[in-house]
Amino acid sequence: PPQTASSFYKIFASAPITFGLTMTSLYITPTTLALHTFCAPNGKMYDIATVAPTATSVTWDPYACEQSPGAIPLAIATYQLQVMDERGPLAAASPGLFSPNQQVRFGLYKPQPYTPLASWTSPDCSSAFRTALRGVHPASWYPSRRSR
């Protein structure tokens, strides 16, 4: 079915992602299914798993993936899940055969430490506001009220 909402997952120890798999109307069962995820902002492809066609789910641990020696760091971005059989991502559609799927998108993020509201500031907004109002008296920040 078409994806109706975006999912966001954290890159964090002990926070794996499980993707469900279903196949219908196949006359010829693939030998294997390969799952990859593609990140457009950094142009990198990450292998998730290669599984038997009877698999009903695949679990991927982005944190473990990122901790592997020589691993390319995962970007904080939107990713495209790619599922394909042994014929690859460009296999032509054919009745009864598995068709590659690249329709699922999801986001990855890294959790940040808690910051109490009283001590939080927006670096972008605060600096822009201070720059815009440098040398301006606070009383002039608000529109004057005119009596009518």
Whether the CB-CB separation of 58 and 80 falls below 8 Å is answered with no
b/e burial code for range 59-90 (CB count within 10 A of at least 16 → b) = ebbbeebeeeeeeeebeeeebebbbbbeeeee
In this structure, what CATH number is given to the domain that contains residue 33?
2.60.40
Does residue 25 come out as left (phi exceeding 0), alpha (psi in the -120 to 50 range) or beta?
Answer: left
Residue 101 lies in a domain: yes
Q: Measuring CA to CA, which residue among 89, 80, 88, 11 is closest to residue 43? A: 80
- Report d(CA 129, CA 123) in Å as an integer: 10
| Per-residue model confidence (pLDDT) at position 137 | 55
> Structural domain of residue 28, as residue ranges?
7-109
Q: Is the pLDDT of residue 146 over 90?
A: no
Query: Does residue 131 sit within a domain?
Result: no
* Separation between Cα atoms, residue 112 and residue 118, nearest integer Å: 17
Our count of domains for the chain comes to 1
Q: Judge whether 141 lies within some domain.
A: no
Question: Does 120 fall in a domain?
Answer: no
Q: Tell me the pTM.
A: 0.74
More confident residue, 29 or 134: 29
On whether residue 46 sits in a domain, the answer given is yes
Quick one: pLDDT at residue 14?
92
CA angle 137, 145, 122 (to 5 degrees): 50
Q: Is residue 47 part of a domain?
A: yes
Residue 142, in any domain of the structure: no
Tell me the CA distances in angstroms from 103 to 2, 143, 147, one per residue in order: 7, 50, 59
Judged against a pLDDT cut of 70, whether residue 41 lies above it is answered with yes
What pLDDT, on the 0 to 100 scale, is given for residue 63?
Answer: 96
